Amino acid sequence: MRTLATRWLIGILILAALLASVAACGSGDGGRSLSLEDAVGQMLLIGFPGEQLDEETVALLDDIAPGGVILFDYDLPSGGAKPRNITSPEQLRALIAELQGRADIAYFIAIDVEGGLINRLKSAYGFSIDLPSHQTLGTGSVAATGVAASASAAELRALGINWNLAPVVDVNVFPESPAIGALERSFSADPEVVAAHAAAFARAHAAVDVISSLKHFPGHGSAAGDTHLGVTDVTASFVGEDELAPYRMLIEDGYEDPVMTAHIVNRDLDPSGRPATLSTAIVTGLLREELGFKGVILSDDMQMGAIVEQYSLERAAVEAIKAGVDVVLIANQLSDDRTEVYRVKRAILAAVAEGEISEDRIYESVERILALKRRYGMVD
C-alpha cells in the first residue's frame, strides 16, 4: 500500500508534468515559456526553394524555428528554371507532412490563393479547384462567393495548408492599379460590396479551419505604382473613408483573423513618409487603436522594392516590430540569399538586447500568434 507521502509525491509529479505540457504549447502565459530566441522565431514567416526539404532548408528551419513557412509554385530567383515548392497535390502533401513533422510548434503553412491570376494551386499541376478572381466574384452574389471559397478552402485544408493570404479588401479606386485593379484582385469599387464578399470568403475558410488574411492595410487600391518594384506613394490618391471602410466594417463585425500591411506611403496618415508596414501611426495608431483590431498583424514581404530601396532588411524588420507588426514575412522570392533570414533574426535579438525593443513587446506578439494557432487547433 502506498503511504500518504508517496501518494503526495506522485501527485506533485503528475501536476508538474501537466504544467510542463501546457508550457510547451505556450498556452496562456504570453508565450514566456518559450526562450527569447524561439519567441522571435515564432514572429517569422519564411520561404525557401525546393519541392522537398534539402539539408540547407532543414538547417534553416532548425536554426530559425520560424512560426511558419510560405509556399509558392513559381521560383522567381531562377526565373522558373527550378521547381519551387509545388508540383502536384501528392508532392505538396508530402512536403507539408515533412515540414510539420519537424516542427516543435506546428507551423503556419501559408499560401496565396486569392483566385484568378493569384493562385499557387493551378489546375496544370493537378489541383481541382480553379477559383475565379476577386473581380469576377464581386460581380456575382455574396452567396456564390461563399460557395466558391468553401470549395477552395476545403482543398487547402485537405492538402495541409492552414493559412490563406486572402481575401484582398483593397477597394478598386484606380482600376489600372498595376498590383491590384489591373490583376482583377479587388472585389469592387464599392467598399460595402468589398466587405460583404470578403466576409463570405473569410467565413468559408474559418469553417474548415483555414486562417484568412485581409490585405493590404490601409489600402492599396488607389496606387499607381507597385510596391513589389519600389516606393509607392498614395498620399494624393488615397480615398480614406472608402479604403478603410472594409476593415472598419469587418472588424466591427467580429473579424479576428490576421490583417496584412501594405508597404505604401501615405503622408496624410503618417507625415514621416514611412511605408505603412514600418509606421507606428498606421499600424498601432490606426489599425490597433482607432479600428480596435486585436488579432495578428502580418507584414507584406519585407524583401519588396518599397522596403529595400530605403532600408536594410534587418533595420526594416526591427522597425516593423516597433510599429506593431506581429509576424514578419520574408518570402525569399525576390532574393535567393537565405542568409538574410538569419540576419533578420539576429537583428531583432540585438534590438532587444540593446533595449530598442522590449521583451514584453516580443511576447505580446507571440501570445497573439499562439492564440491564433490554438484557435485553429494547431497547438493545445
* Residues carrying an active site annotation: 228, 300
Asked if omega into 167 is within 30° of 0 (cis), the reply is: yes
Q: Report how far apart the first and last C-alpha atoms of the chain are (Å, whole number).
A: 36
Sheet of 44-46, strands arranged across: 163-164, 108-111, 68-70, 44-46, 328-330
Three-state secondary structure of 147-205: HHHHHHHHHHHHHCCCEECCCECCCCCCCCCCCCHHHCCCCCCCHHHHHHHHHHHHHHH
The grid coordinates of residue 175 equal 482600376
Q: How are beta strands 163-164 and 108-111 bridged, if at all? A: parallel
DSSP codes joined into one string, 5-29: HHHHHHHHHHHHHHHHHHHHTTTTS
The amino acid occupying position 82 is K
DSSP 8-state class, residue 255: -
CA distance 99 to 20: 24
10 Å Cβ neighbour count for 252? 11
DSSP 8-state class, residue 329: E
CA distance 45 to 54: 19
Distance of CA 91 to the CA centre of its chain: 23
